[in-house]
Amino acid sequence: MIRVMVVDDSPLVRKIASDILNSDTDVTVACTAPTAEIALAKLDRYQPDAITMDMEMPGMGGVEAIRRIMRQRPTPIIVLSAHARQGADLTLRALEAGAVDFMLKPSSNLSGGLDAVAAELIEKVKSASTVEVKAPEREEGWDAQPKTVERKPAPRIVRSCDDRFDLVAIGTSTGGPVALKTVLSGLPAEFPLPIVIVQHMPPVFTKAFAERLNSTCAVAVKEAEPGDVLRPGLAIVAAGNYHLTVSRSHGEARVQLNQDPLVSGHRPSVDVLMRSVAQEYGARAIGVIMTGMGKDGSDGLRELRKKGGHIVAQDKASSVIFGMNREVILNGDANEVVDLTEIPRVLAELSCAKAYAKEAAAL
């Protein structure tokens, strides 16, 4: 039985979340708390396997509460966030502080229906309860003041090695925001390839996420807009609720967005992106699959591998959830399986950015 603590200042949200979780035979709500202070006081007594945490509460806020929980008794935490720009910013800070995952706060008037939210919450709690968490070694990043990054136009690089690849495509989900920050912050501003990314996130969150990455990483990062041109040193993040694809015409590559049906349960879907990359780039693409729940990306990366693309998978030890990358590895489609911190070095080497490989590995 998975024991859960529900922390929220709203009695209605506490009841809705508790009813949802108690409806599953494998989950029970061990206790609830209207404030972070009360939650901390109950932590050692009830010893929950997972916690759902509101971000905006009277007294101590959710981010500080997560920091203290990680110091007192590290526990998997799922952030229940308001669907607003401020909620998105707080959620990103919470993930940096040690939260495992997040989702939109359940309410009685959700346009998508309460049943879908209930299934998502139960699934996330079950997955989170299996994660071994520990306090972050450094409490910085999104919660720190954004760095002032000097950006120079990406130069046309004349490479002395085999000019094999033209694009990097990355797919990730649970644990992905922190993993992507690790990868992108390890790349130099002069990284010679464009990067396209699918991170499972709702609308609003993807824009805030891209902006925060852009403020802390040397490579430029933006949320995808229809017709964005792919260029070296630019990472484009799929917009929430839109599939991201790539197309090449007359020597120029662009991204396209659509709201076709969900694929592998998601929009944006990693499978959709990778199939597009396989079709347009084939052997000239690097596909990267990282931490995440489920198997989105495994079919698309199989197509990319068959076309000769090079597939890099994050290993189990460095993953928050060993799911999406596990499927690709078990299918035999990964050319390399590496620790998260090694991915920047691998990308620098594969992209022929030899002059920057040591710099990327050292960051």
Enumerate the active-site residues: 173, 200, 296
Beta bridge partners of 169: 196, 287
Q: Which residue, among 258, 322, 260, has the nearest Cα to 295 in the 3D structure? A: 322
Helix orientation angle between 85-97 and 62-72, rounded to the nearest 10 degrees: 10
CB-facing half-sphere around the CA of 109: CA atoms within 13 A: 0
CA proximity to 297, closest of 234, 244, 254, 247: 244
What is the H or E stretch that residue 199 is in?
A: strand 195-199
Strand partners, 31: 5
Cα dihedral across residues 63, 68, 69, 70: positive or negative: positive
CB 253 within 8 A of CB 230: yes
Give the C-alpha separation, 125 to 223, whole Å: 28
